[in-house]
């Protein structure tokens, strides 16, 4: 029997949705919690592991019999790739699989902040009628200048969506794209993008060059009526610096789907700020992609099991 473990604790109902998609002779279990000891216990005897948001540490990579770890999604900053190489564990991700979902979530956050949708909803839910309170900070998106930090699968999908709003699109990344891949955006250095954009959206990977990319100095470059969206990774943004900028009125608002620690801690400085919309890292969620994504991950794991080459674009280690 070949056993896969879901490292993110899953309900019996979720496991039952996945099991019919497994090959004959494969079984599926899940970790009891995110606690490191529960994670180690779940990996005992497992050939493969799938992680959504749970970090995969060196100690986990060292578990006897573990052949491969698959990221359910794209971001792999929580996976110890060096340890995987040391222990001969393959690592994969579903490259580009959630780009449209994350791009749509980014657009949704832009609209939610600009149009004060969440503040209006909460005000009515709590018995008020906050039309007058939200009016001064309400803005349109059409025709505005949007700066995209990171122009990979997500950034390019977002650019295509924003063209429908007639936005002037800027982007920044380490290496400019060929013109035919820019999707109507134009490359500028990061500081120029921050200074010029009405909306700045973070859609880049988290790595050594992007960790704490946006902090106090970068936020100070932005227009006071601009908004910031982070649908990349929490570590790209210094959350306390953003909270300070919002409280001081140096930014009009923000929409944040990812956090430096997840699930979010109750002392996170962004909690409780009126002009900040927070969502629980739901950007990649898409019920319609559930079965195709499972099939893609299982295909890569079956390739490891049979000694065949996996999908090349998904290989990390």
Q: Do 33 and 7 meet the contact criterion of CB atoms below 8 Å apart?
A: no
Tokens of 241: 């610096």
CA separation for the pair 244, 270 (Å, rounded): 9
Structure-token match 């018995």, residue found: 127
Q: Beta-strand (E) ranges in 18-135?
A: 26-30, 48-51, 68-71, 90-92
Copy the structure tokens of residue 282.
């739901």
DSSP for residue 108? H
| Contacts by residues 89-93 (CB-CB < 8 Å, ≥ 24 positions apart) | 89/61, 89/317, 90/304, 90/310, 90/315, 90/317, 91/315, 91/316, 91/317, 92/68, 92/297, 92/300, 92/301, 92/310, 92/311, 92/314, 92/315, 92/316, 93/314, 93/316
One of 70, 119, 144, 281 is an active-site residue; which one?
Answer: 281
SS3 content of the chain, % helix, strand, coil (to 5): 40, 15, 45
Parallel, antiparallel or unpaired: strands 90-92 and 145-149: unpaired
How far apart (Å, rounded) are the C-alpha atoms in residues 135 and 141? Answer: 15
Report helix, strand or coil for 30.
strand
DSSP bridge partners of 51: 71
Task: Spot the catalytic one: 17, 34, 160, 262.
Answer: 262
Nearest-10 Cα torsion for 231, 236, 241, 242: -10
Residue 153 bears catalytic tag: no
87 given a catalytic annotation:
no
Contact 93, 316 (CB under 8 A): yes
Q: Is residue 257 within 8 Å of 109, Cβ to Cβ?
A: yes
239 catalytic? Reply is no
Active-site residue, from 144, 233, 252, 296:
233
**Catalytic center residues:** 233, 262, 281
């Amino acid at each position: 029997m070949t056993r896969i473990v879901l490292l993110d604790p899953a309900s019996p109902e979720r496991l039952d949705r996945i099991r019919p998609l497994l090959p004959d002779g494969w079984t599926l279990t899940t970790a009891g919690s995110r606690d490191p000891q529960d994670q180690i216990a779940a990996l005992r005897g497992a050939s493969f592991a799938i992680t959504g948001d749970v970090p995969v540490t060196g100690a986990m990579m060292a578990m006897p019999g573990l052949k491969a770890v698959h990221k359910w999604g794209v971001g792999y900053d929580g996976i110890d790739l060096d340890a995987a190489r040391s222990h001969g564990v393959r690592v994969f991700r579903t490259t580009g699989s959630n780009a449209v979902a994350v791009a749509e979530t980014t657009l949704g956050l832009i609209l939610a902040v600009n149009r004060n949708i969440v503040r209006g909803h909460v005000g009515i839910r709590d018995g008020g009628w906050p039309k007058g309170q939200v009016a001064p900070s309400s803005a349109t998106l059409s025709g505005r200048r949007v700066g995209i930090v990171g122009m990979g699968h997500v950034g390019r999908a977002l650019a295509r969506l924003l063209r429908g709003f007639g936005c002037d699109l800027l982007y920044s990344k380490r290496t400019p794209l060929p013109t035919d891949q820019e999707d109507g955006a134009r490359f500028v250095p990061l500081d120029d993008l921050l200074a010029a954009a009405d909306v700045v959206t973070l859609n880049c990977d988290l790595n050594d060059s992007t960790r704490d990319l946006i902090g106090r100095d970068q936020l100070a470059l932005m227009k006071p009526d601009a908004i910031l969206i982070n649908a990349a990774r929490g570590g790209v943004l210094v959350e306390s610096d953003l909270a300070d900028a919002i409280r001081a009125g140096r930014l009009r608002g923000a929409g944040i789907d990812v956090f430096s620690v997840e699930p979010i801690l109750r002392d996170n400085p962004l909690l409780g700020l009126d002009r900040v919309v927070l969502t629980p890292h739901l950007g990649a969620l898409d019920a319609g992609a559930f079965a195709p994504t499972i099939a893609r991950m299982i295909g890569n794991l079956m390739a490891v099991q049979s000694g065949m080459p996996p999908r090349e674009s998904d290989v990390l280690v």
